[in-house]
Structure 1
């Protein structure tokens, strides 16, 4: 029966914790006045808008950095927050947008957790003051107080209160273990999305450079305009440098994220484990009346309480950083160019990507031109041999300069990769061309056939990498990654962080009340004190001690 009651108590406590967290999560919990922190609207409650260009749902149209101070820069900072104070700039409102490289941004966002920091520091100072007063009283003003008779409620009320608060604190701690793991999972999901995008981008660059190197080997001897070794070589070198830059920058960011994510998880596990042990010992000491142990528990509990308040302020600030980041990703999807997010997941430099695009597309144009010339010559020679024929023109999938738009091949044309099959009926297996071959209308020698095959392979390879080159030019790898993060990763990550800082708030409040109840319980565990040679009896009359 006792075990059943204990289990029921645990279920009730944990259920209450989840209900309180759910209420706080769904409610509009806002700290500060109009000049303080402003809560973002959630995706569920905000008015969704459709961006016509990208077809992407946006939960809010954000402000851009404007003004004369930004007129001479090409970097567009995102998520302007005018409601935060910057303690490093005379507590003026921060106007400089989302920029992870700015110390002013970090100062302003960390300052949003000032409530937790202030309470934590005040709690430490109060504890130090109480400790000094207790030491002063113990050393200088020690005196024995008379014992007055008390009923059992006097002793058991603080113990029962400490017991109930301990159950609530244990429920919150268990919940926080779960929330911590959820946050760890969501953080690694975001990290993996960034790493995957970087790998896709560098893989695309390697695909393009490998293809260009192969094409260079095939067509250099034919001196095709736009595909000489100097142009292709410089383009390949630039792309490789860009790939190395992306890899190094993303790897650095990934290592930082790994240390941060793992550090947060380990620190919380250690803190929660110590807190759980301390609360359990405090609950046992309150019931057993262990005064000596209680002093140490109260001291450690005071320090842990201050730490939880500080962590609450820190995670509240981290929650705002996460919200800023998700909002910045959303705004990036509206205009993905020259933003401060380039430091997190950079694109291939636009000049390098545009150069590669021009090399590829002009190369396709010139190879198609050479292939059409070869087919025209075959038609002319065949006609001169009394075998007039009409061959399908080679399709040029690239539009005219300077746009070079990718187009669909019309009916009646042949793809560049199919030119060898068109020429095959006119190829003579012998070299040089024999009279028998000419009688059959086969006048293309093996050297000419090899040239046509080289051009066909090179042109087909270049056409195949055009979508990849376009993706590098448009930075669609990064765009798709941020789109995935906004739609799939941000909502659960923000929810996990919100649940964690709410849990920290509840734990801080519980430990604050619990520490006070420990003090009262310990104080009322005192034994009767003597006055000279007399003591008070439970009946209220004095009796002399023998």
Structure 2
């Protein structure tokens, strides 16, 4: 994780683009790489109990790969990397690679280039106007023109202004929709992280309870600090996920709100300038027209640049959804763990081993007690035959759960109920109890109940640990994003960059039209002041 943390502000730009601009890409073929499955060395087994010094063979579909080389996702061959002499970037989807961001950002070059060119043109026009005002101040000949000469710029200003106002109002609405959609994607990521953390906390809580229950029985594999170490390792993983995702979500909130605020301010200023420019064109307010033209020109520059940013974000969106889709096809070695980390594979695999083998060892210990009770039951009249105890965990090395129980056996959860009719309320067992076929001492009953509670608790969390080991929480999150979040999010981002393009064009045309309208308004003003009898030269 250190690579992405070192990128500073670039990291947070990466996160917002990744989480907010997600769409289904129609480009690129889905990789057909086979799953990469890691295995651990087998456990060594004692004659009766499980030895936990090793690890059983356990396959995991990796999100966080141990391999040095990660499989490339969403590989593009048509993008230029400005940081690599504009060579084609072929590194694939990698949020930690600055060359990926450079190549993706370069797709918005049209907006950036037009924005910069428009800014430079504005500087040249301003310098030319200043030069003309200061150095070329000469008498102006007043001329009579047709009404169309003066009204055509005004009519164009009216039409373009109405169009721009419509686009601005639309963007206000679309901005709110985008804001809502971005937070839905954020909530999906946060919810997934909370589910993973909650699952870990549930497992560690159960392990702590089991540790307390079994500590007085000295069951191999569940004592000697094994459960405590497992709890500490899982809690450390949960804290790591909470910290990474929590930091990302907090910064994501700031950036989403900043984008919304920036668009609101930009659109508000643009709306004011468009309305002021329209009134100035229609009413001939030449005094403030220069300021309106200047501000409108700068707003046009900003909208062109912002269009380039959103268009580049569209490229990242395509890559993101394509990468997620390829991951769902083959969830092997990828860099997606930088976005939503799983519990470490070694830690979750060891926790799975501890839990499954802990259940087996509890069954072994309970069977030992049950054998003694069978002997005691055989001595009462009539004799009592106790059923065999079912082991829900398959044999090593796979430790498959659950396994089917043979007919006539009893589970750990049901064992206390089977023994309940035979429990004597005093210890040692009295002849009165034996005459009533109550041969189980209270201490034996308490031990069996403890074994039952501990074993059942461990059984309940096995599916949760399996989900953590297989990283299915992250897999399901990516599946949800691809199938449910992509279509509405691509629509929301398209509803922003297309209006931005239209607004940029409208403001660009309005800037030219305002210049002509202001110029012709002055000509009309000069012509109206001309002496009817004889004055053909008017001082500026």
TM-score interval for Structure 1 and Structure 2 normalised by the shorter chain: 0.7 to 0.9
What is the distance in 1 between the residues matched to 2:93 and 2:186?
Answer: 19
Uncovered stretches (5+) of structure 1, i.e. residues with no partner:
1-40, 48-58
Q: Does 1:165 align with 2:163?
A: no
8 Å Cα contact 1:416-1:459 kept in structure 2: yes
Q: Please tell me the root mean square deviation across aligned C-alpha atoms, in Å.
A: 2.6
Match of 2:17 in 1: none
CA contact (8 A) 1:282 1:297 kept: yes
Instruction: Identify if the C-alpha distance between structure 1 residues 530 and 295 changes in structure 2 by more than 3 Å, giving closer, same or farther.
Output: closer
The CA distance in 1 between the partners of 2:362 and 2:33, in whole Å, is: 45
Alpha-carbon deviation of 1:206?
0.7
TM-score, normalization by structure 1:
0.84
* 1:8 alignment counterpart: none
- For residues 399-418 of structure 1, the aligned pairs below 5 Å read 399-410=394-405, 411-418=407-414
In 1, the alpha carbon distance for the partners of 2:536 and 2:486 equals 73
- Structure 1 Cα separation of the partners of residues 532 and 309 of structure 2: 52
1:324 aligns with 2:319: yes
Q: Output aligned runs, 1:130-169, within 5 Å.
A: 130-169=125-164
Larger RCO, structure (CA 8 Å, separation 6 or more): 2
Counterpart position of 1:248: 243
Partner of 1:394: 389
When normalised by structure 2's length, the TM-score is: 0.85
Q: Which residue of 247, 254, 264 maps to 2:259?
A: 264
Distance apart, 1:286 and its partner CA: 0.6
Report the equivalent of 1:466. 462
1:372 aligns with 2:367: yes
Deviations 1:468-513 (A, max 9, x none): 1111111111111111111111111111001100010000011111
Match of 1:184 among 171, 179, 184: 179
Corresponding residue of 1:56: none
C-alpha separation between the residues in 2 aligned to 1:544 and 1:77? Answer: 74
Report the equivalent of 2:479.
483
Determine if the alignment matches structure 1 residue 90 to structure 2 residue 85. yes
Contact 2:70 2:335 in 1 (8 A): yes
Range with greater deviation from structure 2 (158-167 or 222-231): 222-231
Provide the residue aligned with 2:43 in structure 1. none
d(CA) in 2 for partners of 1:503, 1:168: 11
Give the conservation status (yes or no) of the 8 Å contact 2:80–2:86.
Answer: yes
Give the deviation of 1:243 after TM superposition. 0.5
Aligned CA distance change for structure 1 residues 83 and 62 (closer, same or farther; 3 Å): farther
The C-alpha deviation readout for 1:25-82, integer Å capped at 9, x for no partner, is xxxxxxxxxxxxxxxx986x969xxxxxxxxxxx9514879xxxx9961433422122
Give aligned pairs, total.
Answer: 486
Alignment partner, residue 31 of structure 1: none
Residue in 2 aligned with 1:509?
505
> How far apart, CA to CA, are the structure 1 residues paired with 2:320 and 2:512?
39
What is the rounded CA distance, in whole Å, between the counterparts of 1:501 and 1:293 in structure 2?
31
1:311 aligns with 2:280: no
2:394 and 2:400 in contact (8 A); partners too: yes
Deviates more, 1:304-313 or 1:373-382: 373-382
Alignment of 1:38-437 (within 5 A): 61-62=30-31, 73-410=68-405, 411-437=407-433
Indicate if the aligned counterparts of 1:64 and 1:77 stay in contact, CA closer than 8 A: no
Q: Specify whether residues 435 and 285 from structure 1 end up closer, same or farther in structure 2 by C-alpha distance, changes over 3 A only.
A: same
Contact preservation (8 Å) 1:64, 1:78: no
Alpha-carbon distance in structure 2 between the residues aligned to 1:134 and 1:91: 38
Residue in 1 that maps onto 2:453: 457
1:78 is paired with a residue whose SS is coil
Structure 1 window deviating more from structure 2 (331-340 vs 246-255): it is: 331-340
Q: Which residue of 2 aligns with 1:23?
A: none
Q: Alpha-carbon deviation of 1:538?
A: 7.6
Question: In the TM superposition, what whole-angstrom CA distance separates every residue of 1:406-459 from its partner, at most 9, and x where no partner exists?
Answer: 125334332211111111122211111111112222222111111111111100
Secondary structure, in 3 states, of the residue corresponding to 1:101? coil
User: Matched residues in 2 for 1:528 and 1:294: separation?
Assistant: 15
Shift of residue 309 of structure 1?
0.2
- Three-state SS of the structure 2 residue aligned to 1:345 is coil
In structure 2, the CA distance between the partners of 1:544 and 1:161, relative to structure 1 (3 Å rule), is closer
Which residue number corresponds to residue 9 of structure 1?
none
Counterpart Cα distance in 1 of 2:398 and 2:305: 57
Instruction: Find the aligned partners of 2:336 and 2:128 in 1 and give their Cα distance.
Output: 53
Runs of 5+ consecutive residues of structure 2 not aligned to the other structure: 1-21, 35-64
Give 1:20-39 correspondences, 5 Å limit: none
Deviation at 1:399, TM superposition (A): 1.3
